[in-house]
Amino acid sequence: MSKKDFESLKDRIEAIPLAEAKAPKMPIDVYLQEARNLYRWSKADQEKLQAVGLKYFEEFTQRMGALSYAQSVWVNNRFAKVPSEVEWDKKCEQAKELKIELERSFLFAFHEKPLLLNKVEEIKKGTRNADMIQDLSDLSSLGKANLPLLTAINFDESKLDQAANEATEISFLLAKARGEEKERSNLKIMRDKAYIHLKELVDEVYRTGKFVFSNNDNKRKGYFSRYFNKSKH
């Protein structure tokens, strides 16, 4: 079972340095199929390969299973939206609408106050998610500091508290969503490490097979990657 294979090799896979966790240069399904083909081709030659120093051949199927499992876990989580992201999308849209409403009201109420208008214009410049959170907080503070001007246009004062509350709420949601995004990134890193772990063995089997059967073209042809060496099979 792939999960069992992954768990049995997990410590060694995790121990692979991040700098070595390179993404595959071919589709994983293609790579796994090539690895399976190589395993079937080389299994009968196992003793000959090991006789010249090949190690870990007995882990071949385990390493394939571990990569297959890590790939499946990453793919299944790659595009799926987690609850915090769904909630973030909903709250973010509401927050944007409130921000626009406050800016419009402030620009109207402060039309004779150049310094206040400049502050509103500065707030409007932010476009990132983090900017919006800070903008809502800043608008709430700016509005409360100049409440008489807003009262004069019959502005709903409760929206200032709403802005402050939403800034706090969505800041927590954003932090949670970013944490889950980091977790998703970790799944890809683990997939890449599982790939490297298998690749180390596959490359060594290729290299050793070419050496052992250097005078046997019929056997040697099975120790080339079809994906990268289409002219050699």
- pLDDT tens figures, 116-169: 999 999 998 877 777 888 999 999 999 999 999 999 999 999 999 999 999 998
Please check the confidence at residue 3 and state whether its pLDDT lies above 50: yes
pLDDT at 82: 65
233 or 136: which carries more pLDDT confidence? 136
Average pLDDT of span 207-218: 95
Please check the confidence at residue 181 and state whether its pLDDT lies above 80: no
Please check the confidence at residue 227 and state whether its pLDDT lies above 90: no
Contacts of 169 (CB under 8 A, 6+ apart): 91
Please check the confidence at residue 99 and state whether its pLDDT lies above 80: yes
Query: What percent of the chain is predicted at pLDDT more than 70?
Result: 95
The string of DSSP letters for 25-53 reads: SS-HHHHHHHHHHHHHHHHTTHHHHHHTT
Q: What is the pLDDT of residues 17-43, one digit of tens each?
A: 999 988 888 999 999 999 999 999 999
pLDDT at 81: 65
pLDDT at 184: 81
Q: What is the pLDDT of residues 48-96, one digit of tens each?
A: 999 999 999 999 999 999 999 999 999 888 776 666 777 877 888 889 9
101 or 181: which carries more pLDDT confidence? 101
Please check the confidence at residue 232 and state whether its pLDDT lies above 60: no
Strands (DSSP E) along 141-228, which ranges? none
pLDDT at 87: 80
pLDDT at 233: 39
pLDDT at 231: 40
Q: How many CA atoms lie within 13 A of 161 on its CB side?
A: 3
Give rounded-to-5 percent helix, strand, coil for the chain: 80, 0, 20
Helix axes 129-145, 158-212, angle to 10 degrees: 170
Model confidence band, residue 224 (pLDDT cutoffs 50, 70, 90): very high
Q: Yes or no: say if 75 and 2 are a contact pair by the CB < 8 Å rule.
A: no
In angstroms, how far is the first alpha carbon of the chain from the final one? 31
